[in-house]
Amino acid sequence: QQSELNSFLWTIKRDPPSYFFGTIHVPYTHVWDFVPENSKKAFQQSHIVYFELDLTDPYTISALTSCQLLPQGKNLQDVLPRDIYRRLKRHLEYVKLMMPSWMTPDQQGKGLYADYLFNAIAGNWERKRPVWVMLMMNSLTEVDIKSRGVPVLDLYLAQEAERLGKQTGAVEKVEEQCHPLNGLNFSQV
pTM of the prediction?
Answer: 0.78
Q: Phi-psi bin for 139: left (phi > 0), alpha (psi -120 to 50), beta?
A: alpha
Helix (H/G/I), strand (E/B), else coil: 52:
coil
The ranges assigned to domains in the chain are 9-183
Q: Closest Cα to residue 58, out of 70, 49, 66?
A: 66
**Single-letter amino acid, residue 159:** Q
**Single-letter amino acid, residue 163:** R
Q: Rg of the chain's alpha carbons, rounded to an integer?
A: 19
Burial of 28 (0-12, 13-18, 19+ CB in 10 A): buried
pLDDT band at 186; cut points 50, 70, 90: confident
pLDDT tens digits, residue range 7-28? 678 888 888 888 888 888 888 9
pLDDT tens digits, residue range 51-92? 999 988 899 999 999 999 999 999 999 999 999 999 999 999
